[in-house]
Amino acid sequence: DAGVTQSPTHLIKTRGQQVTLRCSPKSGHDTVSWYQQALGQGPQFIFQYYEEEERQRGNFPDRFSGHQFPNYSSELNVNALLLGDSALYLCASRLRENNSPLHFGNGTRLTVT
């Protein structure tokens, strides 16, 4: 039973560029959330997708956008990259039923130079 998988594992981009990160949820899960984790800090909620729509959003600018596909996989897009966007980006999935805990992938380490 595959867990949450993310690609790529590492990525280096230049300021101003755009990046797309990908996530496949755990088998049987229908809800995907994205988190940003800066070095030495806890994960911060970016947004959540369910039924191919953004359902909830944290305190992140519009440069951060996403998509969920019919097979429940998801993408995170970040435009106009800033140095401060360097972080570990985590994807988490769960079953929609209430209080089903999040299962996390191992993340994509994004470095912006």
Partner 1 sequence: LAKTTQPISMDSYEGQEVNITCSHNNIATNDYITWYQQFPSQGPRFIIQGYKTKVTNEVASLFIPADRKSSTLSLPRVSLSDTAVYYCLVGTFSNDYKLSFGAGTTVTVRA
Footprint of partner 1 on this chain (CB under 8 A)?
A: 4, 33, 40-45, 48, 56-58, 88, 90, 92, 94, 98-107, 109
Tokens of 1: 């039973």
**Smallest gap, in angstroms, from Cβ of residue 20 to partner 1?**
19
Contact between 95 and 28 (Cβ < 8 Å): yes
Q: Which is nearer to partner 1, 40 or 70 (CB)?
A: 40
**Smallest gap, in angstroms, from Cβ of residue 15 to partner 1?**
24
Q: Which is nearer to partner 1, 15 or 64 (CB)?
A: 64
**Smallest gap, in angstroms, from Cβ of residue 16 to partner 1?**
27
Q: Which of 107, 41, 40 is nearest to 76 (CA)?
A: 107
Q: Which is nearer to partner 1, 11 or 104 (CB)?
A: 104
Contact between 80 and 61 (Cβ < 8 Å): no
The number of beta carbons lying within 10 Å of the beta carbon of residue 112 is: 19
